[in-house]
Amino acid sequence: MSDEVFDLAVIGGGPGGYVAAIRAAQLGMKVACIEKRATLGGTCLNIGCIPSKALLNSSELYAEARDGLNAHGIKIPTVELDLGAMQDQKSKVVKELTQGIEFLFRKNKVTSIKGMARLEGSGRIAVELSAGGGQQVSARNILIATGSESASVPGLEIDEERIVSSTGALELEGVPGHLVVVGAGYIGLELGTVWRRLGAKVTVVEWLDRITPGMDLEVSRQFQRLLSRQGLGFKLAAKVTEVDDGGDRLLVTTEAVDGGEPEKMKADVLLVAVGRRPYTDGLGLEQVGLKTDNHGRIEVDRHYATSVEGIYAIGDVIRGPMLAHKAEDEGVCVAEILAGQSPHLDYDAIPAVIYTAPEVASVGKTEEQLKEAGTAYKAGKFPFSANSRARATGKTDGFVKVLADARTDRLLGVHIIGAEAGTMIAEAALAIEFGASSEDLARSCHAHPTLEEAIKEAALATHGAPIHI
Ligand SMILES: Cc1cc2nc3c(=O)[nH]c(=O)nc-3n(C[C@H](O)[C@H](O)[C@H](O)COP(=O)(O)OP(=O)(O)OC[C@H]3O[C@@H](n4cnc5c(N)ncnc54)[C@H](O)[C@@H]3O)c2cc1C
């Protein structure tokens, strides 16, 4: 056992963990980060945000070249798909970005330890090194950032070939004839869209009677209409009751949630995308007396401290939205708290984006949440069909919706469905973070012609005064 004592040992090198490690090192702490995967970056860089966005981008380019360029006077006689090359491009991006974190660790003098960490007691971690053997790590503070894994459905055994999680769905070597997606959350819809664009028939089976639970309902309904137009099929208020994998193709049985006749369909691949669950396997929580709540999350106070002194937790393994930027910002907060600073993260100003085409992005409260809380609000909406840039580029689907407090005009929520929504939402997140009113948004000068003018117009609409509609 070495005598070296770290100020902070981070368990998990995902966006929460690696960002916390770098920020703590910037603040002068001696930091170690322990990661069991061969590469840094966690779910996000290896099997999540980055590979999915690479495939979404490539498949969108393919679909545009195949179907979308004629209207612009561009004729491409034959468009061919080279799926192997598309997958290689995705892997190249993942490799470059994960290596980039190794570089940042070296630059900031973060000690990177590859292996499986197990808590042994306050300030003590036993690491089973990936290269073989073991190492004891001592630290004044420990940060658990072990993330999450795909949730499973009883009776559906994931083999990552025919019955896949998102990880297998990112690695398919051929375009499935029929892909059945279980779960209409953002991961299922993004990956369903990828394979639909590449030629698969896609059917999404969802337990609830709507897609994207938690999203503003009006946006969600429009989103489903647009996805249906792209050829995605939906079976809502339905469940998969059986999958027979004995034949050449899977035989999937579904049933309406409230009963009824079972229906059968043949599929080549079944993607189970019913959400993610916090990951604490083998971490030794019980060894240090840490408990999880009934969702498997580690409980923390508002300073991310667990019930055991000197042990903190952030990211997907604690409460809150399972998003990379939320994990990152919490990582920064913990590092700064340990350095004696007073950081603050506004959970009402965390944006969420679905990277389909069109994109869907939101920040703050939905209309349903405001109704449920009894908050008096006013809503303003502006369609992209009335925005000049959207018309110039032919991307007129969708709208911006602004929700503001009826009495104070303070911005409460912004919801966008449309091209570039994920980029545009940053303006709304900043406005909410700064406590802006919808009038502030409406009076800020927006460049013309830009899609962002639709945000200004929706804000004007909350005052009943949009100009271009
Ligand atoms: C397909 C897909 C697409 C997604 N797209 C987006 C997106 O577009 N935008 C977005 O914001 N979020 C997205 N997410 C979610 C995002 O990936 C997670 O919210 C984010 O990675 C959480 O970060 P984290 O640091 O908490 O955990 P993780 O990224 O899960 O990292 C945890 C790390 O800890 C390691 N670990 C676990 N236990 C131990 C142990 N005992 N010892 C050592 N190491 C350990 C794991 O190997 C892992 O690398 C996506 C997820 C998926 C699956």
pLDDT per position as a tens digit, 332-380: 999 999 999 999 999 999 999 999 999 999 999 999 999 999 999 999 9
Query: Cα of 97 to ligand 1 centre, how many Å?
Result: 14
Which one of 22, 49, 363 would you pick to mutate in the ligand 1 pocket, going by the greatest count of ligand atoms within 8 A of its CB? 49
Sequence-ordered strand ranges (E) for 206-310: 232-235, 238-244, 250-256, 263-267, 269-272, 276-278
Sheet of strand 359-364, all strands in order from the earlier edge strand to the far edge: 352-354, 359-364, 411-418, 399-405, 377-383
Burial label for 85, CB within 10 Å (0-12, 13-18, 19+), is: exposed
How far is Cα 191 from Cα 342, in angstroms, rounded to an integer?
39
- Residue (of 298, 321, 326) closest to 15 by Cα position: 326
pLDDT tens, position by position, 262-297? 999 999 999 999 999 999 999 999 999 998 999 999
- Residue (of 368, 369, 355) closest to 423 by Cα position: 355
Q: Which residues line ligand 1 (CB under 6 A)?
A: 11-17, 34-37, 42-44, 48-49, 52, 116-117, 145-148, 166, 187, 279, 282-283, 315-316, 322-325, 327, 355
3-state class of 255 per DSSP?
A: strand
What's the average pLDDT block by block, 10 residues per block, for the chain (469 residues)? 87 98 98 98 98 98 92 92 98 98 98 98 95 98 98 93 98 98 98 98 97 97 98 97 94 94 97 98 96 95 96 98 98 98 97 98 98 98 98 96 98 98 98 98 98 98 97
Element (H, E) at 24: helix 15-26
Query: Residue 30's pLDDT is what?
Result: 98
- Cα→Cα distances 184→78, 155, 351, 376, 399, Å: 33, 19, 19, 30, 21
Sequence-ordered strand ranges (E) for 27-68: 31-35
Query: Residue 71's pLDDT is what?
Result: 86
Task: Identify residue 439 by its one-letter amino acid code.
Answer: E
Query: Cα of 373 to ligand 1 centre, how many Å?
Result: 32
Query: Residue 260's pLDDT is what?
Result: 85
Query: Residue 2's pLDDT is what?
Result: 65
Element (H, E) at 129: strand 124-129
How far is Cα 356 from Cα 398, in angstroms, rounded to an integer?
13
Element (H, E) at 203: strand 201-205
Question: How are beta strands 134-144 and 269-272 bridged, if at all?
Answer: unpaired
3-state class of 356 per DSSP?
A: coil
How far is Cα 378 from Cα 53, in angstroms, rounded to an integer?
34
pTM for this one? 0.97
